[in-house]
Amino acid sequence: MKRILSLVMMALLAIGLVFLGGCGSANTTSGNTTSSNTSSNDSYAKQINFFQWTEYTPQSVLDSFKEKYGITVKMANFSSNEEMIAKLQAGGLSEYDVVVPSNYVVKAMIAQNLIQPINKDNIPNFKNLDESFLNRDFDPGNQYTVPYLSSPVVLAVNTKKVTKPIESYNDLLDSSLKNQIVVVDDERPIIGAALLATGHSLNATSANDLKDAENWLKKLRPNIKVFDADSPKTALITGECSVGLIYNGEAALAIKENPDIEIIWPKEGISGLTIDNFAIVKGTQHEKEAELFINYMLDPAVSKILSDEYPYTNPNKEAHSLLSKDYLDNPASNIPFDKIKNSELLDDVGSSLGEFDRIWTEFKG
């Protein structure tokens, strides 16, 4: 499952998309995702190349785009931002058309000329996105990016197994939770929780702030039983663990399996909020097809299919009227937009990445 946020990212950038295709506003997609080539055009390229996280785009959506426009979407997958960027730097600019970077690497990708501005006049479905996800600091005015999905790390608790109330990350230090916590094997959101718990920003980089976080993590370590980047929900579903700091899509699936699991919103805030975005690769030869594809993915009916299969947080406000009751009633999937709007995003921490990496390595032991 999506994803791993490694801290070697900026090193890769210092050494130094893939998305499919769009066109003008006259080609706005309808809500019908199964129409048969109703808008195909011989002037379009026959294929675009899409570089995307694993388990983040249903093949059925790519098939329906081909059926409608006659354009094959060839999808390749990556499991981390650094993998995606390294591929682009190693010749991928000529291989891909659209990619899906997380917010905290967008500025660096712009600086490295890996992605290009998007003409939103050719993406009329951009209007379907909720403002909570737009005009954030990583891309003011969304000149280079279009929000796709969000996968924040949330606190999930089995309320039948945990009797003491949990209202803060500091409550996770209680000795009654020894060997009871599963966390994503992803340093930024977990170190982020430590920073929030000790009164600092998610993106704090001062030596004193990071020392506070490191000491807090040492207290937490006896309570952690599992580090899992791929399927952290499993330990919650099986009862191996009673508390999880895990991706919200994973938490949503755990709740479906075990309704005793609930989402707790710590008073300090969300520890691992990211926004994943469509971006067009710099110099693509298929710009109009890429824009057409992005616009298609923002169609409410198409966006609904995404959330039906992968229940992460969906920024498409128009799709929410179509989403299933299961999705809307699941607090892990359907995170209120105001929580997104008022929460700090994980950001690039620059030269401090090495210190984050050291803290994480020593923390895991």
Tell me the per-residue pLDDT of 289-307, one tens digit each, with 9 for 90 and over: 999 999 999 999 999 999 9
Q: Which domain range does residue 261 map to?
A: 153-272+345-364
For the residues 139-143, what does the mean pLDDT come to? 98
Pick the more confident residue, 11 or 241: 241
Check: pTM over 0.75? Answer yes or no.
Answer: yes
Residue type at position 76: A
User: Count of domains in the chain?
Assistant: 2
User: What pLDDT is attached to residue 79?
Assistant: 80
223-243 pLDDT tens trace: 999 999 889 999 999 999 999
Q: Are residues 216 and 358 in the same domain?
A: yes
Q: Two tokens at 88?
A: 């682009």
User: Smallest Cα–Cα separation from 344: which of 273, 287, 267?
Assistant: 273
d(CA 365, CA 361): 6
81: pLDDT confidence band, cut at 50, 70 and 90? confident
Query: Is the residue at 4 inside a domain?
Result: no
Task: Kindly state whether residue 2 falls inside one of the protein's structural domains.
Answer: no
Residue 24 in domain: yes
Q: Is the predicted pLDDT of residue 356 greater than 60, yes or no?
A: yes
Alpha-carbon 55 to chain mean position: 11
Residue 14: per-residue pLDDT: 46
Residues 220 and 352 in one domain: yes
Asked whether residue 306 falls in the same domain as residue 317, the answer is yes
Task: Give the model's confidence band at 64: pLDDT under 50 very low, under 70 low, under 90 confident, else very high.
Answer: very high
Mean pLDDT across the stretch 249-277?
Answer: 94
> Is pLDDT above 90 for 12?
no
- Output the pLDDT for position 2: 52
pLDDT band at 55 (very low <50, low <70, confident <90, very high): confident
**Do 43 and 140 fall into the same domain?**
yes
Range of weakest confidence among 80-84, 98-102, 140-144, 156-160 = 80-84
More confident residue, 93 or 11: 93
Question: How high is the pLDDT of residue 130?
Answer: 97
pLDDT for res 54:
87
Residue 3 lies in a domain: no
Same domain, 266 and 299: no
Query: What is the structure's pLDDT at 20?
Result: 37
Q: Could you tell me if residue 339 is inside a domain?
A: no
Average pLDDT of the segment spanning 332-357: 91
User: d(Cα 311, Cα 116) in Å, to the nearest integer?
Assistant: 29
pLDDT of residue 41: 62
Average model confidence (pLDDT) for the chain?
89
281 and 296 belong to one structural domain? yes
- Whether residues 24 and 140 share a domain: the answer is yes
Under the banding of pLDDT at 50, 70 and 90, the label for residue 32 is: very low
User: Does residue 340 lie in a domain region?
Assistant: no
pLDDT at 37 over 90: no
Residue 330's pLDDT is what? Answer: 94
Query: Looking at the structure, do residues 14 and 138 belong to the same domain, yes or no?
Result: yes
* Residue 338 and residue 317 in contact, taking contact as beta carbons nearer than 8 Å: no
Same domain as 189, residue 109: no
Dihedral pair phi/psi, residue 149, rounded to 5°: -145, 165
Residue 36 banded pLDDT, cuts 50, 70, 90: very low
What length is written for the chain? 365
Q: Are residues 122 and 134 in the same domain?
A: yes
CATH classification at residue 177: 3.40.190.10
Residues 168 and 44 in one domain: no
pLDDT at position 82 is 82
Q: What is the pLDDT of residue 99?
A: 98
